[in-house]
Chain A
Amino acid sequence: MKISINGNTQQFDGDNMTISALVVTLNLTGKRLAIEKNGEIVPRSQFAETKLKDGDKLEIVGAVGGG
């Protein structure tokens, strides 16, 4: 399935990937993140049960230096 992450489309194997599994696949384990799926925030507590489907659009953000 194809998922858009931060504006880039990526191909993933399988059809039942959860957000938790995606975080592991992207090497982001342990990072403090917030994720929006199709414009709606997915609380961290729901990463494990939120399944992704073909065409989903994700925004994955973190805190960076700023004024």
Chain B
Amino acid sequence: MMNQQLVIAGKSYHSRLLVGTGKYKDFSETRAAIDASGAQIITVAIRRTNIGQNAGEPSLLEYLPPEEFTYLPNTAGCYSADDAVRTLRLARELLDGHKLVKLEVLGDPKTLYPNVIETIAAAKVLVKDGFDVMVYTSDDPIIAKQLEDIGCCAVMPLASLIGSGMGILNPWNLQIIIENAKIPVLVDAGVGCAGDAAIAMELGCDGVLMNTAIAAARDPVLMASAMKKAIEAGRESYLAGRMPRKLYSASPSSPTSGLITAA
């Protein structure tokens, strides 16, 4: 199988790792980690501008120019379809008509678990309004299919809770989602280490979106580099096709003949 590029809403990307820009020590660490990750798509949040304070403060956009990256504005912190739609319309204005967005509608501040009912409602409005919607959702195969049918350009089930670093808790559901989908499936949320990212790719995910796994590592820049390699290794492993599992049936890799024998 050829290792083709990731295509989202008609645009090709050589990197299958998408990264967030939150939780870093400062903007220069954010930039260094993103460079090490090789990511081309980066998520940003939309928030009220500070008025009357820190007027000369540097902005994220100065460190990560929108000309260099594909921005993926998110709706983090939104708990209703209306708030999410409103946020992304502001994002579109902010980013000069940019259409590619990450929709997430949360259901509960403690777990940040997605509210799929509000997510579906928002997705319908956004798709109709011309947005290219990458949608964060639970690992429910039926909901994932419904979001695809609405017209989302990528479906992004969680591996585990946002920021939890718990890894892929239900690989079987992810596999069902991947098998059913005709649009890219990306794991978004829950990846904790490079091994988790590789497993997601080996399952057949088209990409992985992460933030905390890199930003909260002891050395974020090194972890970003590890994630880049894990995504590439996992992808190649998936394409290469793993050997069959053979329980109780060992098979030596070295020739069984030609052994020296005791005189």
Contact = CB atoms under 8 A, between A and B. Distances in A.
Asked if chains A and B come from one complex, the reply is yes
Interface of A: 5-8, 26-28, 31-34, 36, 41, 43-44, 59-67
B22 A43 contact: no
Contacts of A7: 48
Among B22, B45, B209, chain A packs the most CB atoms within 10 A around the CB of B45
B167 interface: no
Given A5-B51, A31-B49, A32-B59, A65 B23 contact: yes
Contact of A61 (B27, B61, B90): B90
Contacts of A43: 93
Given A26-B52, A27-B52, A64 B45 contact: yes
Q: Is the interface of B mostly helix, strand, loop or mixed?
A: mixed
Given A33-B94, A41-B93, A64 B60 contact: yes
Contacts of B162: 67
B44 interface: yes
Nearest to B54: A27
Please name the 4 residue pairs, one residue from A and one from B, whose CB atoms are nearest each other, closest first: A66-B45, A67-B20, A67-B211, A34-B94
* From B21, B90, B209, residue with most partner A Cβ within 10 Å: B90
B22 A65 contact: yes
5 contacts: A6-B48, A64-B22, A64-B60, A66-B74, A67-B22
B210 to A, nearest CB: 8
A6 B23 contact: no
Given A60-B49, A63-B94, 11 more contacts: A26-B51, A28-B55, A32-B59, A34-B91, A41-B89, A41-B93, A59-B90, A63-B91, A65-B20, A67-B20, A67-B22
Interface of B: 20-24, 27, 30, 43-49, 51-52, 55, 59-61, 71, 73-74, 76, 86, 89-91, 93-95, 162-163, 209-212
A60 B209 CA distance: 28
A28 B49 CA distance: 9
Nearest to A32: B61
Contact of B44 (A33, A36, A44, A64): A64
Given A27-B52, A31-B49, A33-B49, A63 B61 contact: yes
A41 B129 CA distance: 15
A41 B94 CA distance: 10
B45 A65 contact: yes
Nearest to B93: A34
B73 A67 contact: no
Contact of A65 (B55, B60, B163): B60
Contacts of A32: 59, 61, 94
Nearest to A41: B93
Contacts of A8: 51
Nearest to A42: B93
Contacts of A34: 46, 90-91, 93-94
A32 to B, nearest CB: 6
A67 B49 contact: no
